[in-house]
A and B are shown apart, each in its own frame.
Chain A
Amino acid sequence: MTNDEQAQPSSTQHARRSIRVVTLYDDVMNVYADRGNVIALRARAAEHGVDVEVTSVSLGDPLPDDTDLVLIGGGQDREQRRIAEDLAAHGPRLRAWADENVAMLAICGGYQLFGQSYRDGTGAELPGAGVFDVTTVAPGPGWARCIGDVIATAVVPGVGELAGFENHGGRTYLGPGARPFAMVDYGYGNNGDDGTEGAQRNEAIGTYLHGSLLPKNPALLDHLIAAALRHREGPDSEPLASIGAPYAERAHAAAVQVAKRRSRRWSRTS
C-alpha cells in the first residue's frame, strides 16, 4: 500500500478541503486507460481547491479504515482472475462503505467484479464483491464483444449526457436490488438488450464506459468530487462552485458526434 499526498495550489480563499481516494489494483486493472480518471480527478479537484490524497491498494494489501472515494478500472479476464478473490474478501467493507455513501466508480472489468459474480469466457465463475446486485456472464466464443462508442443519459440528476467507449464480452443483468446508472442512447450498455448502462447504489457507480470516462465527462467528475466531499465533511458540505471545463466540454462534444455517426441508436420502444 502506498500513500502519496500531493499539495495542490489553492484556487480559492476557503480553508483547504480534501478527499481521501482509494485506487484498487491500479497496477493490475489498468488495461483500458482508466488511469485517466485519476489524472482528471487530481486536476479537477485542484481547480476546486480540493486536495486529493490517493492510497493505492493492490493484491494482499489491507483497505484503509475509511475513505471518501473508491476507484477501480478494467482488466482482461486474466487480470480479473488474478484479483477476484482478493477483492471479494474486501466485499463486506466495500458494501458497508457504499451504505455509508462513500463515492465509488467501478469501470468495466472492475464493475463486473463489483457485482455478485462473473462467469468469464472460459466458464470460470469468479466471485464478486457484491456492491451491486448485478450478475455478469460472458457468453463465450461465437458471441461478439460489445465494442464501440457510447452515449448514455445518467439517471442521477445533474450528470446528464455521458460519452464513452465500451469494450466488453460479458453481459451484465440487473438484479431486483440494483438501479441502472444510465440509459443507453447509442451503443450496447449492460447487455445490449434492456437499454440499461451500469448500476448504482447510493453514491457508488458501476459502468462499462471508459474513454477515459472522467476527463471528458466533467459533470460526472464534479458529481463524484461533491459526493466525496459530502462523505468527508457531512451533509453541510458546501456545494462546488460552477467552474467551466472548456477542453473537457469540447472533447465531450467531439465524442458525442463520433458516437452518433458510428454506433447504433437505441430505440426506447423496442
Chain B
Amino acid sequence: MSTATQQSSPPSPRERLALLLGRASRAIARRLGRSGGTAIPGLVAGALAPSLIERLALQPGHGVATVTGTNGKTTTTHLLAAILRAGGVDPLTNPSGSNLERGLIAAYSGSVDGRGLVPRADARAGVFEVDEAALARLMPRLRPRLAVFLNLFRDQLDRYGEVDSVAEGWARALEEVQTPPTLVLNADDPSIAQLAEHARGARVVTFGVDDDAVALTHADHASDARFCGCGSRFTYEAIYMGHVGRWHCPTCGRTRPVPDVSARRIELREDGSTVHVAIGHGAEQQTFQFELPLAGLYSAYNALAAAAAAYALGLDVVTIASALAEAGPAFGRQERFEVAGRRVRLLLAKNPAGLNEVLRVLTVAAPPLTVLAMLNDGVQDGQDVSWIYDADLEMLAGTGATIVCSGDRADDLALRFSLAGCPPVSVIPQTERALDAALARTPPGGRLDVVATYTAMMDVRSALARRAGVGAYWEASK
C-alpha cells in the first residue's frame, strides 16, 4: 500500500486543549454510563476547535478512506479496517457507528497522545464511515484518497429529506473536492454507478454481483432508482435487492459498468456465505473465494465493497480473503449472544431495504423461527414509522414464525405484522420483558432472531450483553 504525500503539522495549543477536554468528557460520560460517550467528546472538542477534522485527516500516513451509503456503512468500514490490519496497516476508525463530524473527532481525540498527535501516524490509514447526508460537508475537509459508495435507498425521510437531494449532494462534493478521490462504486445500484460521471479523471473501481441464482424472482417494493437521469425507466436483466441489479437505460445508453470486482457465485447459508470473486479483467484477472461469516446477500455486498476498496489500495487477494473470513460482525450487526441456553442473533434494520434483506436472512434459516421485532421512533430511528409498510413483511407469512413485537411503537409493528398475515403472539413495549417473553418462546438450544431499529438495538444489545456476560459496547468495540 502506497503512502499518501500530505503535510502534517502538530495541532495548535487550542486544538490540543480541545482534544484533551474531549477525552476528559468521554471519561465522565462513561462513568455516568451514558451511551459509551462516543459522541460527547466530539461535540466538546469540535465546539472548541472547529479545525480538528482537517487536522485529523492530515495525519494518517496512508491517507483517509470514507465509506458512505444508506446501508452497510458500519460493516463495510469494519471489514475494510480488518483487511488493512491484516495487510500491516493500522486503521484509525470510528468503530461504533458514530458517523457525523462529532463521531470522527471523538475517534481522533480517543487515539491521540499528549501532544495531540496520532501515534505511529505514518503506518496508519483513516477508515471512516460517514453519514450519507454529512458527506457533502465532510468530504472537502477529510480530503479522502478513496471514497466508497455502497447504495442509496430511502431512509428516514423526516431526517435526511428526499433521496434525490442526497445523491445531488454527493455529486456536488465530488465536483468540488480539491483532489478527486479514487471512487469505489457499486456497479449494481444505478444511483451509485452514475457517480463515475463525477470522477474528474480519478480512478474508478466498481464492484457487483454476476450470479443469477441470487436474483429475486419478483421486484421488491422498496425500489428507489427506477428512472434514469434522462427520464426513462431502467430495464433490469436481474434484480438482487430493491433497485440494485444488472440494469441499463433503453433510451440514453447508460448501463451498468462491468464490475472490476465481481461476485461470480454466492452460496448463501443460514450463518454466512461462500463468495467466489473475480478481480480485474482479461489477462490480469485473478479469481479467489472467501468464506464470509455474515449471513445474507447484503453482507456479501459489504464484503465485496471492502474487497474492492482494499484492492484499489493495493492489497493482495490472499490478504483480503483471509481477513474477510476472520472478521467477526460489527457492533449490533449480526452479533451473536448465548443467553439462557438460546442462541440469540441481533440484526439491525432501520429502513425498508435493510429490513427486506434481514427478512430474507431469517427465511433462509430452518424452522422453527422465533423473532423479537423492535420498532422505536427516536430521532436516530426516524420519527416517522410509516416505512414499515414499504418493507415486505409478507415474507414471514406462512413460515410459522413466532413473533414478539416490542419497542416504543410495538403497536404499529403488531398492526403491520397482522396485515402481513403473521400476527404476533405478544406485544410488549418494554425491552427486558419482551426479551424474556421471546426467550421463553424459543426452544432450548434454538435460535432467537432479534430485529431492531437503531435505538432499540442499543437497548436490547445492552440487555443481551449483560445476560450473556459480555462487556458494554465501548469495551467490546476496542
Binds A, one of B21-29, B54-62, B125-133, B407-415: B407-415
Docked-complex contact A31 and B389, CB < 8 angstroms: no
What CA separation (Å) do A210 and B412 show in the bound complex? 13
Docked-complex contact B409 and A254, CB < 8 angstroms: yes
Q: A31-B154, A35-B390 are in contact. Are A250 and B414 (CB under 8 A)?
A: yes
What CA separation (Å) do A253 and B415 show in the bound complex? 12
Binds A, one of B42-50, B72-80, B379-387: B379-387
Docked-complex contact B412 and A40, CB < 8 angstroms: no
Cβ < 8 Å to A, chain B residues 404-428: 408-412, 414-416, 418-420, 423, 427
Instruction: Tell yes or no: B288 within 8 A of A by CB.
Output: no
Q: How far is the CB of A12 from chain B (nearest CB, A)?
A: 20
Docked-complex contact B412 and A32, CB < 8 angstroms: no
Docked-complex contact A35 and B411, CB < 8 angstroms: no
Docked-complex contact A247 and B389, CB < 8 angstroms: no
- A139: B residues at CB distance < 8 A: none
Docked-complex contact B383 and A247, CB < 8 angstroms: no
What CA separation (Å) do A149 and B410 show in the bound complex? 17
What CA separation (Å) do A135 and B154 show in the bound complex? 28
Number of interface residues of B (CB under 8 A): 34
What CA separation (Å) do A82 and B229 show in the bound complex? 12
Cβ-neighbour of B162 out of A31, A149, A250, A254 (below 8 A): A31
What CA separation (Å) do A35 and B389 show in the bound complex? 7
What CA separation (Å) do A30 and B412 show in the bound complex? 20
Docked-complex contact B386 and A33, CB < 8 angstroms: yes
Docked-complex contact B383 and A149, CB < 8 angstroms: yes
Instruction: Tell yes or no: A43 within 8 A of B by CB.
Output: yes
What CA separation (Å) do A262 and B377 show in the bound complex? 11
Interface membership of chain B positions 335-358, coded 1 if the CB is closer than 8 angstroms to chain A and 0 otherwise:
000000000000000001000000
Q: How far is the CB of A60 from chain B (nearest CB, A)?
A: 11
Q: How far is the CB of B154 from chain A (nearest CB, A)?
A: 7
Instruction: Tell yes or no: B276 within 8 A of A by CB.
Output: no
Interface membership of chain A positions 231-258, coded 1 if the CB is closer than 8 angstroms to chain B and 0 otherwise:
0000000000000000110110111001
Docked-complex contact A165 and B386, CB < 8 angstroms: yes
What CA separation (Å) do A210 and B414 show in the bound complex? 18
- A253: B residues at CB distance < 8 A: 411
What CA separation (Å) do A210 and B154 show in the bound complex? 16
Q: How far is the CB of B362 from chain A (nearest CB, A)?
A: 20
Docked-complex contact A33 and B390, CB < 8 angstroms: yes
- B386: A residues at CB distance < 8 A: 32-33, 36, 165, 210-212
Instruction: Tell yes or no: B268 within 8 A of A by CB.
Output: no
Cβ-neighbour of A27 out of B158, B164, B226 (below 8 A): B226
Q: A215-B419, A250-B414 are in contact. Are A39 and B389 (CB under 8 A)?
A: yes
Q: How far is the CB of B48 from chain A (nearest CB, A)?
A: 29
- B384: A residues at CB distance < 8 A: 32, 147, 165, 167, 210-211
- B161: A residues at CB distance < 8 A: 145
Q: A147-B158, A253-B411, A255-B412 are in contact. Are A247 and B418 (CB under 8 A)?
A: yes
What CA separation (Å) do A254 and B415 show in the bound complex? 11
Docked-complex contact A254 and B157, CB < 8 angstroms: no
Q: How far is the CB of A157 from chain B (nearest CB, A)?
A: 25
Docked-complex contact B157 and A31, CB < 8 angstroms: yes
- A216: B residues at CB distance < 8 A: 412, 415
What CA separation (Å) do A99 and B163 show in the bound complex? 37
Docked-complex contact A254 and B154, CB < 8 angstroms: no
Docked-complex contact A33 and B419, CB < 8 angstroms: no
Docked-complex contact B412 and A43, CB < 8 angstroms: no
Docked-complex contact A167 and B157, CB < 8 angstroms: yes
What CA separation (Å) do A27 and B223 show in the bound complex? 9
Interface membership of chain A positions 15-39, coded 1 if the CB is closer than 8 angstroms to chain B and 0 otherwise:
0000000000001101111111001
Instruction: Tell yes or no: B388 within 8 A of A by CB.
Output: yes
Docked-complex contact A215 and B415, CB < 8 angstroms: yes
Instruction: Tell yes or no: B227 within 8 A of A by CB.
Output: yes
Interface membership of chain A positions 69-90, coded 1 if the CB is closer than 8 angstroms to chain B and 0 otherwise:
0000000111000100000000
What CA separation (Å) do A54 and B267 show in the bound complex? 38
- Of the A-B pairs whose beta carbons lie under 8 Å apart in the complex, a sample of 5, sorted by A's number, is A145-B161, A215-B415, A253-B411, A258-B377, A258-B409
Given A39-B420, A40-B419, A254-B409, output 12 extra A-B contacts at Cβ < 8 Å. A30-B221, A31-B157, A32-B157, A33-B388, A35-B389, A77-B162, A167-B384, A211-B385, A212-B386, A215-B416, A250-B427, A255-B412
Residues in B lying within 8 Å of A, measured CB to CB: 154, 157-158, 161-164, 221, 226-227, 231, 352, 377, 383-390, 408-412, 414-416, 418-420, 423, 427
